[in-house]
């Protein structure tokens, strides 16, 4: 018996399965959500009382809204400043490019910045951010 076989035999667990057999490596393309949930099985049942959840969401919003607004303002500024690059990149279709950039992209970003000041829309801020990013990417 070789050393490898001896060490493998010593690592045998429970019902005759070795560690290598129990923890067989699955290629990345064969992973599924349930495979990852096996790593942290309690995560699927992790729930808190509604009062605690509401307090957490309110606190999270209060802590992150200023940073979110600054990020949207910076995104708006960069997005608008790239309009000058359009002069060199797309001089022939400048009118259409600017119509999309300044007629769709920038107004949507400004709308999301404005809506971030409305407290009733706090639960929808992530959705609004995703919407603005999607429109901004599409309008480019």
pLDDT at 137: 82
| Residues recorded for the chain | 140
Q: What is the pLDDT of residues 5-15, one digit of tens each?
A: 554 444 444 45
Question: Cα dist. 88→75, 83, 91, 101, 125 in Å?
Answer: 21, 10, 6, 15, 35
The overall average pLDDT reported for the chain is 78
Question: How confident is the model at residue 108, as a pLDDT?
Answer: 93
Contact residues for 101 (Cβ-Cβ < 8 A; gap 6+)? 79, 80, 82, 83, 86, 139, 140
CA-to-CA distance for 15 and 3, rounded, in angstroms?
A: 22
At 79-126, the pLDDT tens digits run: 999 999 999 999 999 999 999 999 999 999 999 999 999 989 888 888
Contact 80, 106 (CB under 8 A): yes
Q: Read off the tokens for 130.
A: 């995703």
**Above 80 in pLDDT, residue 63?**
yes
DSSP 54-85: HHHHHHHHHHHHHHHHHHHHHHHHHHHHHHHH
Q: Is the pTM of this model over 0.75?
A: no
Task: Fill in the DSSP letter of residue 1.
Answer: -
Q: What 3-state DSSP class applies to 32?
A: coil
Residue 72 · residue 112 · CB < 8 Å:
yes
CA dihedral 113, 119, 122, 124 (to 10 degrees): -70
**What secondary structure letter does DSSP report for 40?**
S
Residue 13 confidence (pLDDT): 44
């Amino acid at each position: 018996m070789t050393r490898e076989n001896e060490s493998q035999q010593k690592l045998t667990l429970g019902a005759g399965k070795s560690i290598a057999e129990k923890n067989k490596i699955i290629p990345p393309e064969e992973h599924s959500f349930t495979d990852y949930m096996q790593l942290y099985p309690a995560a699927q049942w992790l729930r808190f009382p509604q009062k605690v959840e509401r307090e957490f969401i309110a606190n999270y919003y209060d802590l992150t809204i200023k940073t979110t607004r600054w990020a949207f303002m910076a995104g708006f500024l960069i997005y608008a400043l790239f309009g000058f690059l359009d002069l060199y990149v797309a001089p022939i279709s400048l009118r259409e490019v600017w119509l999309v950039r300044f007629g769709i992209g920038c107004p949507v970003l400004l709308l999301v910045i404005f809506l971030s000041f409305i407290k009733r829309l706090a639960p929808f801020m992530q959705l609004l951010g995703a919407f603005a990013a999607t429109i901004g990417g599409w309008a480019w």
